[in-house]
Structure 1
Amino acid sequence: MKFSTKKATALAAIAVSAALVLSACGGGSDSDGDKAGGSGDSGDATTVTFLPKNLGNPYFDTSSKGGKAAVEEFGGKFSEVGPQEATPDGQVAFINTAAQQGVKALVVSANDPKAIGDALNEARDAGTKVVTFDSDTDPEYRDLFVNQASSEGIAKVQVDLIAKQIGDEGEIAILSAAANATNQNAWIDLMKKDLAANHPKIKLVDTVYGDDDDQTSFDKTSALLQKYPEPQGHRLADHGRYRGCGSLRL
């Protein structure tokens, strides 16, 4: 379900970014077309670059696949770039390169709402339209944010899933991804409110971050299970391989 939703988000994001780019290019000269070629290719193709939090994440592999299909459908030129580790500094270098290449649209899932802001605004000053998805920046750093679902809806589903698994009673912990991710922190805040208001017998004992890394997430999970042992055992909520915000029964 999350993957199909993410693909729809990517399609929406790329469609909107394309509209922004094409309107910005109206009446442009041939030199504008040359600039649109990005990394050495000349012509009128609209260049669109996806910049996920990090490469090798199945979540973003799926969104980029949808984005590529959408870009090719309107005759644009798609590319995906990104750091191996989900850090703001890692994204900045790719933002700067996209601006230097004259990329027309940059579609970003931000590792931090502020840290990449200056680089994004420099890219915008150079003529690149910036669309954020999945994890937003502060509004002044982008042209548009496309949200795949409401934070309230995601938080409620997360709480409902774990509540059903544990009979609406017991201790749980949250294993999230990057500590600065705007979307996941919003979900966590809303999950806490839902738990307090509607699930008085469930106790949230800890929140930890796996930094969008498999090994780190595994280590954090192991540490939680050791810190909060219980004879009945432990169980992960049904979140599969998604390195996002999940709940642990303790």
Structure 2
Amino acid sequence: MVKIGFGSVGDSFSAASIKSYVAEFIATLLFVFAGVGSAMAYNKLTSDAALDPAGLVAVAVAHAFALFVGVSMAANISGGHLNPAVTFGLAIGGHITILTGLFYWIAQCLASIVACLLLTFVTGLGVPTHGVAAGQSEIQGVVMEIVITFALVYTVYATAADPKKGSIGTIAPIAIGFIVGANILAAGPFSGGSMNPARSFGPAVASGNFAQNWIYWVGPLIGGGLAGLIYGDVFIGSHSAIPADDYAA
């Protein structure tokens, strides 16, 4: 069975852990700045508040590229989570302690807020927030986010967290970026294709608009948790104790 470790204050405030929080902050900030900024830039160029098919592709590609780079730059320090749902899924599978994971969440959410405030300052525009499309219910949005976040965290497990991954681990960042881009293409017109509570939380704080923001916490956390439980329990099996220096995604 998978093991969930609460962790200790000493481990969570060790030099290695603090470096991990800083790495998560920097990588998440750059990811959100590029991802949210791509949507703002497209709207600026087209003077159109609604993305057309070309805009959807552009935003999906921008998120995929930015996440690929963000995961790559933080992988050797923090594991390159950049996402509370990924951190939660890895905690369920015993790859990071709960206490350290909470500090990851804080770093990720603060980074997203700072990125969105910077975007507001440098562009003079308001940041777009996530919300379900007209004609879609909030429950439909939650289910969509559960499914696509499950796909993301399952990919993280299969390419990065599985101890049997072998050489496939070298393509983990690009695989993770690709699944996010693909999921945005599939879910963007319906739920917004967040998969990331921090990615949705930063724009909500910067804009002061928290309408439907709960969807982008509940859906991704359920999806990420299910992926961690299923992959960790069925395909990885029992774990040894969590190594003090291994919080890898």
Q: Under a length normalisation based on structure 2, what TM-score does the superposition of the two structures give? A: 0.31
Bigger radius of gyration among the two: 1
Q: Under a length normalisation based on structure 1, what TM-score does the superposition of the two structures give? A: 0.31
Higher relative contact order (CA 8 A, sep 6+): 2
Higher strand proportion: 1
